[in-house]
Structure 1
Amino acid sequence: MKTSISLSLDTRRKRKDNTFPVILRLGHYQKTTSIATGQYLQEMYWNNSKKQVRSSYKGTESVNFLNNMLISELAKAQDIINRLHYKGELDFLTINQLKNKIVKKSKHESFFQYGLEVAEELKVSQRFGTARNYEGVIGILKVFNKNKDLKFNELNLDFLKRFERFHLSKPGNTQNGLASYMRTIKAIYNRGIKDDIIEREYYPFLKYQIKTNPTEKRAINVEHIKKILDLNLYKEHSLFHYRNYFLLSYMAMGMSYIDMVFLKKGDIIDDRLKFQRKKTSKNYDIKVTEHMEMILKFYLCKKKKDDFILPVLKRETLELQYKDAQWGLKRYNKGLKEIANLCSIEERLTSYVSRHSFATHALYKNVPLAAISAMLGHSKLSTTQIYLKSLPSNILDDYQVELNTI
């Protein structure tokens, strides 16, 4: 192996207090570079033959502890080099690439720190919803871990099981809520493996299965949609906008709430809504129907091309607009609950119901599954099948009768 690493005192970089940095000297294919340890010594206190701090050094409470810490840093770096060698990757790295792998892995031993830095990267990529989700889950894990740091190697099968028991012991917490948290933890861990922060052999999800319970049916029948449509609400009514949002979502092929609130007047081109879905970045091209036009017309009055159509997003920056959307969604769902009471709808009415109802009603109309999937903007048919898995029994009865007709 043409790679070496050792502890050294870098006497080329003298500081004002006459100390020099203790470094890891990395050699790789006849090139050398240094990795800082954060420790500084006067030359007289460094034993160059033994590569350690002399016992006469008085700048620490324990010289043995300091030397053990430096040896530990060296061992971690050597372990990374060895693993890269055994995986057949070492020979194909430049010295700077190798250094970055060593530094990055040491820097991100903390699962919390790494997860929060990934969240910041997501914000730069304008994926504020996912970033907020990562931050929220890390916050919950910190509470569970009593505000102590969590290293990657500590996030093992036992930790996941203990977190599961902790979550499910709290009143109101559900198995599906736990599954959502676990999927986020899994995503961060997978990113850590990809970035060489942790080895795949330590992956706790090889043995931990994320479980979910079947969700309640979210679709409502067409008669309930008509009741919402027929609600006589004046424009000053507190539920006026929420009724409109629900109907617009349903009519626009189950458009998601986040996509609706980010629609701009300029997205309407030749009587079609043309935009990019926030969640998947997939391009949408939806015909503006007569009923949709009646709703949109109310909001388009005096709007400019770059103005948002719906009165939800008020602030200028994208990050703040996502916060406006989050707050607006809470009020929207609260308003839908009141609308359900007005229309005597026993099912729970939420922003998701319009989307699920559209998909279910499309199936009733014998629209092919592939077409429904395309309308919803799903990249996989399996996702669409989740939307449609809870068909009402009377629909299944009709199918059975038809199949038994000989």
Structure 2
Amino acid sequence: MRTNITLTIDARRKRKDGTCPIIFRLSHHRKTISISTGFAIPLEYWNEKNREVKKSFKEVSSVSRLNNLLTKKKTELRDGINELEASGRLKGLSVTNLKYTLIRPANTISFFDFAQQLIHEMEEANRFGNARAYKCALGPLKKFNKKEFLRFEEITYTYLKRFETAHLKKGNGLNGLAMYMRTYRAIYNKAIHRGIVSSDSYPFKKYKIKSEPTAKRAISKEKIRRILDLKLEVESPLFNARNYFLCSYLMNGISFIDMAFLKVENILDGRIQYRRQKTARHYDIKVTPQLSSIIDHYLKGKNKTAHIFPIIKREGIRDQYKDIQWERLRYNKRLKEIAELCEIEERLTSYVSRHSMATNLILNDVPINALSKMLGHSDISTTEIYIKDLPTHILDQYQERLEI
């Protein structure tokens, strides 16, 4: 389908003063979006056939000049589309990206505006977790920048070092900084890929993102047994939290969001089959007798399309993500109470079950390549992070095996 730009009036957006905005309607990939002209007139002064303002309109000094201005702007937009098509970039742009590219010259594009566009695209694609992470990272940068506009070319090595210093000076951690910086780098890379900014000024060639080892997250099998043996009534607020933790541990460290979206129909022939929300990677997990004893409680009286766990309460996908977000907060809070009841010194969070599963399998001599597949890692180097959690005496035992 051709990419078209049409001058029209938006009668649906009638303002309080009785005028309607004159817009360009951009059509691309069977989708449309409007581009503002900055002008608005009463609907009766618009000539839809000729797509121009009627000469009888008296609110401007020259109707002819106004129409010429609108025609010139349309020509500029059409020329921009032709240039993108000639360079081979047009086809790969969404209608939103195309609008953004046409109306904002590269040297005036705000880093924040482009990031907001990416957030909008993520939300449109139901990637609310990614969108939330981007929003979280943009807040500190906006506060540091002290103004709403930030050109890509302003984000230099020196600028990033100043942001780093300000972040750490407040007592914030290095890993939090690394998370922000990876987000800024991703935004910058996307802008380069879309031709919005040149790679010549790319600051991450010189600026290196640093992080530090995270605190040990795994707990022993004996402590997990304490959680399993904890006597809780079904009515207890801790009942579901305990079961979520154990199910995550027994389902290869499944993430909380993936567990929340599991439905009864994901259980087939004694196996749980699903695609991970984050990577779309397919998982096929055996339902062991111990796992079955927990899940069976949640399956009673449910049809195939019902969610297994009582985490998601609403229908709309955006509301479902909010349900998961709030339930995760309650879950982590209740895990702290469980840790106290079970006399577990380590801090329990939703991530501990995954790390504990990985560490305990390593301790049982499960090959790292098998563990990598169970965790769904595409790169074995990611799996190696879990080995750092191994106790020193275990590593000593492995070293002793080298003796001849």
TM-score by length of 2: 0.78
Amino acid at match of 2:271: R
1:109 is matched with 109
String of CA shifts for 1:236-283, please: whole Å, max 9, x gaps.
Answer: 122111110000000111111111111111111111101110111001
| Aligned counterpart, 1:288 | 287
Give the aligned partner of residue 179 of structure 2.
Answer: 180
Partner of 1:148: 148
Aligned equivalents of 2:105, 2:298: Cα separation in 1: 53
1:233 corresponds in structure 2 to 232
Determine the C-alpha separation between the residues in 1 that align with 2:231 and 2:88. Answer: 70
Q: Report the equivalent of 1:34.
A: 76
Partner residue, 1:357:
356
Matches within 5 A, 1:7-406: 16=57, 17=60, 18=63, 19-22=66-69, 33-35=75-77, 103=102, 105-106=104-105, 109-171=109-171, 173-404=172-403, 406=404
Structure 1 counterpart of 2:357, one-letter code: F
Check whether the contact 2:128–2:321 (CA below 8 A) recurs between aligned residues. Answer: yes
- Alpha-carbon displacement from aligned partner over 1:71-92 (angstroms, at most 9, x marks no partner): xxxxxx9xxx8xx9xxxx9666
CA distance in 2: counterparts of 1:330 and 1:133, whole angstroms: 16
Residue aligning to 2:4: none
What residue identity is the alignment partner of 1:151?
A: R
Q: Is the 8 A contact 1:333 1:351 kept in 2?
A: yes
What's the offset of the Cα at 1:21? 4.6
Q: Give percent identity, aligned residues only.
A: 48
Compare CA radii of gyration and give the structure with the larger one.
Answer: 1
Contact 1:25 1:33 in 2 (8 A): yes
Partner amino acid, structure 1, of 2:115:
G
Residue 147 of structure 1 and its aligned partner are, at CA, apart by 4.1
**Whole-Å Cα distance in 1 between the matches of residues 156 and 231 of structure 2?**
56
Structure 1 position 132, deviation (Å): 1.1
For 2:207 and 2:262, locate their aligned partners in 1 and report how far apart those are by CA, in whole Å.
40
Whole-Å separation in 2 of the counterparts to 1:367 and 1:24? 70
What is the rounded CA distance, in whole Å, between the counterparts of 1:312 and 1:200 in structure 2? 44
Quote the Cα distance in structure 1 between the aligned partners of 2:161 and 2:358.
36
Distance 1:364 1:92, change over 3 A: closer
Which letter maps to 1:126?
A: N
> How many matched pairs?
339
**Please, which runs of 5 or more residues in structure 2 have no aligned partner?**
1-50
Q: 1:196 to 1:104 in 2, by over 3 A?
A: farther
* TM-score w.r.t. length of structure 1: 0.77
* RMSD of aligned residue pairs (Cα, Å): 2.7
